[in-house]
Amino acid sequence: MNYDTLSSFAQTWGLLYFVILFSGAVAYALWPSKREEFKHAAHMPLNDDEEPIK
């Protein structure tokens, strides 16, 4: 196996790997059941009624 073959393999499958990883991250972020969890996390800095962590 020479450098050109290995490079071509890594570029092709690496791209596919990162596309799948990115698609999974986007699907997780936009999943409807996660909406309340993310909304709560987004508003945490603005909430003064919670006790600060020591």
Please state, in angstroms and rounded to a whole number, the distance separating the CA atoms of residues 23 and 33: 17
Three-state SS at 37: helix
Q: How many domains are there within the chain?
A: 1
Decide which of 48 and 21 is more confident.
21
* In a domain? residue 24: yes
* In a domain? residue 17: yes
* In a domain? residue 51: no
DSSP 2: -
The alpha carbon dihedral of 12, 16, 19, 21 has a sign of: negative
* In a domain? residue 54: no
Domain residue limits at 40: 3-46
Digit-coded pLDDT (tens) for 1-39? 899 999 999 999 999 999 999 999 999 999 999 999 988
Structure tokens at 23: 């698609």
* In a domain? residue 52: no
Task: Note the pTM of the prediction, 2 decimals.
Answer: 0.63
Please state, in angstroms and rounded to a whole number, the distance separating the CA atoms of residues 4 and 34: 43
